Every structure is written in C-alpha cells, then in structure tokens.
Amino acid sequence: MLNGKKIVVVLPAYNAEKTLERTYREIPHDIVDEVVLVDDASADQTADTARRLGIQHIRVHPRNRGYGGNQKTCYQTALDLGADVIIMLHPDYQYTPRLIPAMAGIITEGVYPVVLGSRILGGGALRGGMPIYKYIANRLLTFLQNLATGAKLSEYHTGYRAFAREVLENIPYEENSDDFIFDNEMLCQILYAGYEVGEVTCPTRYFPEASSINIRRSIRYGLGVLSNSLGFLLARWGLYTPRMLRGIRPNKKTWAR
C-alpha cells in the first residue's frame, strides 16, 4: 500500500512470454498489493510464465478480444480486488516499472486523479527508438487533440497510465472500442468528465520483442483519433454527443475555453 491506498498493477498481455519476467521483476512489490495479468489468447506461453512467476490473478481470454477488450477485463478485475489506484503497465518492457511509485504517489497524495507516463516529455521517444513516422504522427495528433479538448497534454498515446478508483467507476469505458483506439477514447472520456491529468517523463524502449502496431493499423488508429477529436469538439459546442461521451456529465469549468 501507499499512503493507506491499495495499489494494483494490471498487465494487458499478448504474446509477452519473452518480456514478462523482466517487466514483473522490476515492479516495486513493496508498495504494489496485487498484480493482475490478462492473457488475450496468446499463441505463446505467456500464461504459463505468469504462473511460474507467482502472479496470483491471471485471466485468460478463450479468444482474442483485442487491446481494448483486454483492458476492460484488467480494470474490472482490479476494481473487484478493491484497488484504490490502478496502474496499467505493458508487459512488453517498453515502459519502465520503476515509475510506479511516482505515479501512484501523485494519485495517493491527491495531486492528480490520472497520471500518464509521457514518452515525449524530456525528449526520450526518439532516443528510445520510436520510429520517426510515429513520432511525427504523435506530435501532430496530440496538437490537434489539445485544440479539440482544451487540454495541454504532451501526448495522448502512451500506454502507461495510472487511475484513481473514482475515475474508472465514473467513466463508461466498457462502451469503448475493443481495439487500440480504446486508449484514446478513454482519455477523451476522462477529460470530458473534467478530471485533471498529470504527466511524468517516461523513457521508452523499442526493440524486436516490444509490441508495436504496423503502419496500416497506425493509420486506422490516427483516423480514429481525428474522429474522437471531432466528436469531443462537437460535444463542447453542444451540437452532438458521440457514444463514448454519452452518460458523462461534462465539467465545463475544466475543459471549456
């Protein structure tokens, strides 16, 4: 626990057999109460590796549900375990688990209810091997999305995220896509609801075993981000509320300019 709050780390896994142990060994287990791994019908021995490491909470999807569908199981499991702070960490070792104390501390101290591990702050993305086309797309999409939402985030596309329990209980993340655009839809919901988002500098690693989507899926993701941005903007103007934002009471004091 940290500051009397229960910390649960969730690992959305797909073919992570080669990197899971390195990731798990670096998790600060002195403050993390539970680790949840959800295996999205991997073709390798991810689940067996998790059992060998002693991870107690393992869920295995009988069929692949996609990155977003994996997270839905992760978050519901963490909430069922009574988590006060939920931290999503990819088990492909692309993000360092050593930032967990900092991210959890920001939430348990009441500074921010949501914290992102940003690859852009500090300029570590390119040094860590992020492909130049992904870096350029990241910067452009982030710029456009900040215009749409009124926020000032350094990036919307990191997979390293920490949430206070209240946030997950109050946004309809189950209504989001089961694909990669889930992450972006979730941030739109968080900002629309008026939750403030903090960021910490996070180094990143790109290597053969690290998960990454191909150019075709990256383009589809980029188009989804643009669609989400337009939907958020229309909702701000009171013209149309997209499905991902329905049921959320907007906090205009925090996102309207």
Residue-wise pLDDT tens digits, 165-198: 999 999 999 999 999 999 999 999 999 999 999 9
Give the model's confidence band at 205: pLDDT under 50 very low, under 70 low, under 90 confident, else very high.
Answer: confident
Domain residues of the chain, as ranges?
Answer: 7-255
Question: First-to-last CA distance in the chain?
Answer: 38
**pTM for the predicted model, two decimal places:** 0.93
Asked whether 112 and 189 are in contact (CB, 8 A), the reply is no
Residue-wise pLDDT tens digits, 117-150: 999 988 777 777 787 888 899 999 999 999 999 9
**Residue 255 pLDDT exceeds 90:** no
- Per the model's pLDDT, the better-predicted residue between 21 and 206 turns out to be 21
CATH number of the structural domain 7-255? 3.90.550.10
What H or E segment, with its residue span, contains residue 204? none
Q: Where are the alpha helices (DSSP H) in 54-110?
A: 66-80, 100-108
Residue-wise pLDDT tens digits, 55-106: 999 999 999 999 999 999 999 999 999 999 999 999 999 999 999 999 999 9
Asked whether 65 and 40 are in contact (CB, 8 A), the reply is yes
- Reading the block at residue 233, the tokens are 């903007």
